[in-house]
């Protein structure tokens, strides 16, 4: 193999590796991207990239969840961002802000992948002193109705 061919091969390999590393670093390729159902089966959220961060928007909500959100001051639940500005935490999880529509409040939050079809969503108050978590499950499609 000539020196030029070896150099071209090395550059191509480096570019492929850099592209792979960037693809794995971005939220859109993370295992958290997708559509998720809360444990009460009342809200479905689609997660994906929002700039350099990860966000999640309500794509379906039960009548009860919509009513609770209205009572909390959120007029239209479907389309609302529940997961806001999550950044990788370096340990495989994400940290950001979760919006709780029925309370009309935002809280510090962490997301931790459990497996390919489950993620643990944690919301905290008092700088993480008191936290509550739920395990959300991945769903193949948005519910109807």
Predicted pLDDT of residue 75 = 96
In this structure, is the dihedral angle defined by the CA atoms of residues 21, 24, 27 and 28, taken in order, positive or negative? positive
pTM: 0.77
Two structure tokens written together for 129: 């002193």
| Ramachandran class of 2: left when φ > 0, alpha when ψ lies in -120 to 50, beta otherwise | beta
Please report, for residues 49, 63, 87, the alpha-carbon distance to residue 36 in angstroms, rounded to integers and kept in the order given: 15, 18, 18
| Ramachandran class of 90: left when φ > 0, alpha when ψ lies in -120 to 50, beta otherwise | left
Q: List the chain pLDDT tens, one digit each, 145 residues.
A: 433 333 233 322 232 223 323 333 443 335 789 999 999 999 999 999 999 999 999 999 999 999 999 999 999 999 999 999 999 998 899 999 999 999 999 999 999 999 999 999 999 998 778 999 999 999 999 998 7
Predicted pLDDT of residue 84 = 97
């Amino acid at each position: 193999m000539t020196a030029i061919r070896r150099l071209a091969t090395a550059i191509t390999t480096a570019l492929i590796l850099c592209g792979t590393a960037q693809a794995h670093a971005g939220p859109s390729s993370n295992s958290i991207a997708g559509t998720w159902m809360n444990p009460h089966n009342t809200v479905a959220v689609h997660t994906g990239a929002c700039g350099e961060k990860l966000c999640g928007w309500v794509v379906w909500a039960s009548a009860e969840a919509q009513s609770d959100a209205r009572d909390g001051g959120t007029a239209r639940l479907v389309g609302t961002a529940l997961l806001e500005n999550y950044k990788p935490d370096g340990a495989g999880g994400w940290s950001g802000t979760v919006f709780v529509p029925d309370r009309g409040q935002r809280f510090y939050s962490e997301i931790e992948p459990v497996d390919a079809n489950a993620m643990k969503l944690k919301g905290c108050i008092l700088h993480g002193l008191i936290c509550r978590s739920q395990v959300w499950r991945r769903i193949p499609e948005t519910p109807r109705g």
